[in-house]
Structure 1
């Protein structure tokens, strides 16, 4: 009898435990609502309290997925019923949250990073079928968990180089700044950090990216059909979203490597209301320079730092404000007599609010400054050459959601630009013999209005279309040269000068930029997409190099130099295999580019008051095929990216002497027909992982001298046709191993990463230079940035 009673009690206990385990959370108060119940929520890291941006929140019963915004928030509109919520984010355990919706309420989801064998569990970091079901083309988002799995560059992960592993995106060399997207120049990319444009995104001429990865939440690249809210650049938008700090507890990250270190802190200023995120990164690379054999480099110095500050405040559940500050600084002293320095600084203030359940508003204001200088202290011709840009803007966007499948955005933006092209300041304390010179500043204003409409017709068809109207004005104060008609624009053909007062309109341009994409689903795992995009660009990078350099000149469109106009059409097919484990895509595109800036043969670009005499507009075209295969799950993950592309230029002038290559098409500086990237990550265990990156690309075009001649006792090289030769092909292998130690608070409790760049010591040429050889044309020699294997070791700690 006692035995039966014990069994009955045990059965009752198990049954009650089962019932208890199946209980659902009750959201809201029972006030009679049956439909249209608004459930808001926020997804955060359980340890640090940081918001998780881009997490997928799925209602299983409705097969409905929402993605968390920049503050980790999401909003669901449901009927009264029982539901099961699943929340997924890359590198975190999936959270299952059962609940009953009876009225408006809020859900708080806290996620913990995975710390177990990945072959026993399936984790998706976002909607696994978004690439199939969305109408987006050429939009790729990488969060920092994905980027951290790549081999580090000089000891730390690199945001810009991570984007260059994707199809259609490349760089011209190992230490190059900026990106080349689908045949466009580096100036055709608008790089936004917290909504503010950044003009030079690099440290040490491209060796490091100028963004602290510990401050970044995710990065989105738009390269095909760019949303209508973005304008001003011809090729792509790179939108970098920083983290907001934890509202509940203080924490941070620490990293120390061979060449740089960084520290970040975040936590609540007012608990559950206001948070702060701060980061500081700096270099100590001079020990490496002092160990080199080259005497000029051994006596050189290189320094950089960047700093971030983000303050996030919740007014209430429907309104919040974010202030972001960014500052970076570089200086490089070559052989102790010439110092090159540059800095970025930006401030942005963003308000996000909701008038109702269906209506939202974003207001963003920013101010960005980019300055560079060259200081020469040789003792004979000491001088300081300075230049810079100021960019101040405001953007307002309204969003209205008719339903989950019908969304509408409308808005406007405006910005004012001031460019100081250059000012030479001789050192007054030395008798340099140089005279001061200041190039006229430039002033411009860009404005735009836009709308975007996304809707779906059943399960098969999705459409996204938008229109942007851009208006640009080139403003005084400025003295403008007048040139004789029917003659080349040159100093010899100046016939007068006209002066414009401050704020007076000198020239204006405007135009409509439609954007549209159509998605047709062949089946739940396969879709075809077609897209068209038109962009206007009113600012140009005047340079005779292949990449962004601090001494390059930014130039506004004026009456001589029209804005670049880029038309692009894209077609792609997208398919997932084996339960979304494999993601594949094939895209083709064609671009037509008008008013590309090319420099004339023998152009003088430095301290040039009338650049219209040194440059000439041309045509451009680019086309390509992009293949992408990605494995999302399992012990082994990674992707294969292959691009075949061409980027060509042509300059035909009414005056034969201004034609380049006889008016024929010629390769651009960044034309690389074949580009292949292999990325592999392997989890040996929960604590040890391996990663590898292999890259191959066709060598970029260069111009070789065809002969030489003597002038005033000097032997000079003669160049004829442009960009008809190529440097050797690029290829390199990088490997890394990451160890996670659980030291229970001891000094080794953190992540150790050992990496080897350029494993087999490939001497990839970054550039070529030519030296005179008696009795023969000048001979070419290569300059390699990384000519030997380079090991790095870094340690990072989260606290």
Structure 2
């Protein structure tokens, strides 16, 4: 018995000794007698792939300070000489507790490994859990790809744009709709940028897919309320998509195949521990799917798309980082075999970040974006090509100075040059064709901006962020500008002459100051009230009489006749977290006033129109709403519920009776949907199995129905009275998905993720649009066009190697 007891005591002492040895803190830095302002920085990477973990949190528990890692996985603290405990957290990874003794400047290299989820485990925060309470940000939401991957996939894979549409205040006009409508704004009022470069059409197959490969995206941030002063040029929101850097110490990759598309990616060190590369390519084999759609015209169509990415990242030193990003996407769609529509995006961006001392950081970025869209008609003798495009290049410069951790000033400026080719019609056979060549005048513009943003705290209760942006837009020749008679509406009949502007001549310029401000008052550690104001200028417009972005739409710069859109937004919100940040809730109320929004004359002709001003009318807009949001962050069941009540209205009043719409009264915009509800849920059934579901409901969007028909010169014509007085039936749909993580001895054939999903589970025939068929002796008959009218299953398999 004594021997047993002695053995037991010996084991206990050894265990205690090992535990003490394990808990012994690591000494950081060289002891040179430094007592304050000790600089501790580091980088966090994935243990297996070597990729930087962007958005991971590093918390020092003794002083309650938290840092979020940047795009290279870097973090930094300024500390006093003492012992500290660092806690490293990232969603889906095992947390690490790392005690240190700070005696001088030093660096930490931390490797984190993905956790094996068990039924009794708790999901770990991958961000600062109280950021929504403590920050002055309003309407700013960052979603990591780990969060987005928990949503049901759309046709085999997660979709970035559709993931944003699950948030309050963000919607789409219908199924397979391109673009987003944010707080009552049009799709053109959103600046979507990848690695700092603007993207003009972020969709495949007219909106069925998003053209961003999720495997090369690190995180996505949507700004929809008080937008930071460094962003400009759009009226409603900024969608900032940041690419993911590759590993600097080992090669790896990923592969995914589904019944709709496939993709492959590879990443690794070009120069070990110094330069990394990450590339991805995705392509479709979608034509069999078109045959399953309910639209008979789509059954006889063909489609192809691909997209590719390349990211080269070079952490030059602890204080400098260089990144090059390339993005391309391509689509072609042959409609009923005689007309092919194609569009293509290309963007390059170069980003440099540097630190000078402990307080000053500088970032410089340059980009080039090209967007081209074409229509090829091959129906017979009148074959033609219709070509259009945009070229956008610019530079941005920011400098951030940290007076302290709670007092930060950012200043900067940006410049961009825009060239738009609205359209050129080229007959294939110019000698025999009945179509004449035609070219709309190109447009040339330049935007410049200067800005500052100051964020600081007044004690523990009050946080303030204020900024100012100055925008300048210049419209240049060469261009022929029409002159019109005074006191008459703009039309071909009122044209009285033309003015010729040579290349480089300034035709007109616009400028304005855009203040931004928000204030936060903390009621407690877990609740706060915020209020904000935001003013934005927009100098580019999407000219379209449809409700969603299409590749044939026309982008138009502000000119003599089309003034910039000016958006003033006021917001107030209450934010509250419960049960140790397990539950996150908010309510926001907003009001927007929109000047110089574009509306169209009845029967407007927008295609190949050299004088668009004769087809447009200036309108006033307003939008207001209430957004409710509740999210469960932790546990086996996670997800969120969002509800938005909102109105988006327009009014057209001009001196000319024939231009007034709906008698000068307020009417619903094309994307006015008063009620919008989204429910998201993800449930962990076991270590390797999860189930997710998304349910969405919204009011049907406004449409204009013909009220009668009449005979004119032997032709039956429809009569339309008031615009957007009717609505499509309400939208609702349920999507589900099951994900299996398989682990075995065979890396390629047994390991991997299987995802099975069903889109539109109960086969709802949500109408995308209504069209009317004329029948002899009867009123026009309405027909519903449903893009997805049946349940659509998908199966995908992905591996990492």
TM-score bin (small chain) = over 0.9
| 1:776 partner SS | coil
**Root-mean-square deviation over aligned CA pairs:** 1.4
Which residue of the partner structure matches residue 751 of structure 2? 749
Q: Does 1:769 align with 2:771?
A: yes
Mapping of 1:671-710 within 5 angstroms?
671-710=672-711
- Cα deviation for residue 318 of structure 1 reads 0.3
How far apart are the structure 1 equivalents of 2:354 and 2:293?
Answer: 55
Residue in 2 aligned with 1:26? 27
- Does 1:278 pair with 2:279? yes
Question: Counterparts of 2:484 and 2:589 in 1: how far apart (Å)?
Answer: 44
Q: Which residue of 2 aligns with 1:788?
A: 790
Distance 2:715 2:157 in 1: 46
Gaps of 5+ in 2: none
Which residue does 1:244 correspond to in 2? Answer: 245
Alpha-carbon distance, 1:773 to partner: 2.3
Q: 1:317 to 1:136 in 2, by over 3 A?
A: same
> Could you tell me which residue of structure 1 aligns to residue 541 of structure 2?
540
Query: 1:176 corresponds to which residue?
Result: 177
Instruction: State the shift of 1:300 in Å.
Output: 1.6
Q: Does the alignment pair 1:378 with 2:373?
A: no
Q: How far, CA to CA, are the matches of 1:50 and 1:357 in structure 2?
A: 26
Q: CA deviation at 1:7?
A: 6.7
Aligned twin of 1:299: 300
2:781 corresponds to: 779
| CA gap 1:760/1:295 in 2 versus in 1, 3 angstroms | closer
SS in 1 for 2:774: strand
SS for the counterpart of 2:24 is coil
Aligned equivalent of 2:135: 134
The aligned length equals 799
Where do residues 147-158 of structure 1 align in structure 2 (5 Å cutoff)?
147-158=148-159
For 1:632 and 1:524, the matched residues in 2 are separated by: 17
C-alpha contact (below 8 Å) 1:118/1:634 kept by paired residues: no
Alpha-carbon offset, residue 98 of structure 1? 1.1
* Structure 1: gaps spanning 5 or more residues: none
Secondary structure in 2 matching 1:120: coil
Counterpart of 1:489 in 2: which secondary structure? coil
2:607 matched to 1:606? yes
8 A Cα contact 2:709 2:716, kept in partner:
yes
Query: Alpha-carbon deviations, 1:15-54, whole Å to 9, x = none?
Result: 4312211111111111111100011111111111111111
Q: Once the 2 structures are TM-superposed, how far is the Cα of residue 11 of structure 1 from its aligned partner?
A: 5.4
Distance (Å, rounded) in 1 between the aligned partners of 2:111 and 2:92:
14
Deviation at 1:109, TM superposition (A): 1.6
Match of 2:321 in 1: 320
Q: SS of the counterpart of 2:120? A: helix
Q: Say if 2:122 and 2:636, in contact at 8 Å, map to a contact too.
A: no
Of the three residues 753, 761, 775, the one matched with 1:759 is 761
Q: CA deviation at 1:113?
A: 1.6
> 1:119 is paired with a residue of what secondary structure?
coil
Q: 1:77 to 1:375 in 2, by over 3 A?
A: same
CA contact (8 A) 1:54 1:72 kept: yes
Measure the CA separation in 2 of the matches of 1:591 and 1:231: 17
Secondary structure of 1:29's match? coil
Shift in Å, 1:573: 0.1
Distance in 2 between the 1:3 and 1:87 partners? Answer: 41
Displacement of 1:429 after TM fit? 6.8
1:349 aligns with 2:350: yes
Indicate if the aligned counterparts of 1:42 and 1:108 stay in contact, CA closer than 8 A: yes
Alignment of 1:182-201 (within 5 A): 182-201=183-202
Q: Displacement, 1:711? A: 2.8
Q: Aligned pair 1:38/2:60, yes or no?
A: no
| Distance change (3 Å), C-alpha of 1:119 and 1:621 | farther
Conserved? CA contact 2:396–2:415, under 8 Å = yes
**Structure 2 matches for 1:642-661, cutoff 5 A?**
642-661=643-662
Q: Deviations over 1:276-320 (max 9, x none)?
A: 010000000112234568664333210000000000011111001
Distance 1:138 1:295 in 2: 42
Q: How far, CA to CA, are the matches of 2:12 and 2:659 in structure 1?
A: 93
Q: Counterpart of 1:728 in 2: which secondary structure?
A: coil
Q: How far is the alpha carbon of 1:775 from its aligned partner?
A: 2.3
Query: Partner residue of 1:113?
Result: 114
Secondary structure, aligned partner of 1:547: coil
* 8 Å CA contact retained: 1:382, 1:430: no
- How far apart in 2 are the matches of 1:685 and 1:459? 42
Give the TM-score normalised by structure 1. 0.98
TM-score where L is the length of structure 2:
0.98
- Counterpart-to-counterpart distance in 2, 1:567 and 1:235: 10
Question: Post-superposition shift, 1:661?
Answer: 0.8
**Conservation of the 8 A alpha-carbon contact between 2:303 and 2:332:** yes
| Alpha-carbon separation, structure 1, partners of 2:573 and 2:293 | 49
CA separation in 2, counterparts of 1:740 and 1:442?
52
- Cα distance in 2 for residues equivalent to 1:15 and 1:96: 18
Contact between 2:293 and 2:787, CA under 8 Å: does it hold in 1?
A: no
Which residue in 1 is equivalent to 2:559? 558
- SS of structure 1 residue aligned to 2:163: helix
Q: Distance in 2 between matches of 1:30 and 1:252?
A: 42
Tell me what 1:798 maps to.
800
Residue by residue, what CA displacement relative to the aligned partner does 1:699-728 show, whole Å, maximum 9, x if unpaired? Answer: 000000011122343212111210000000
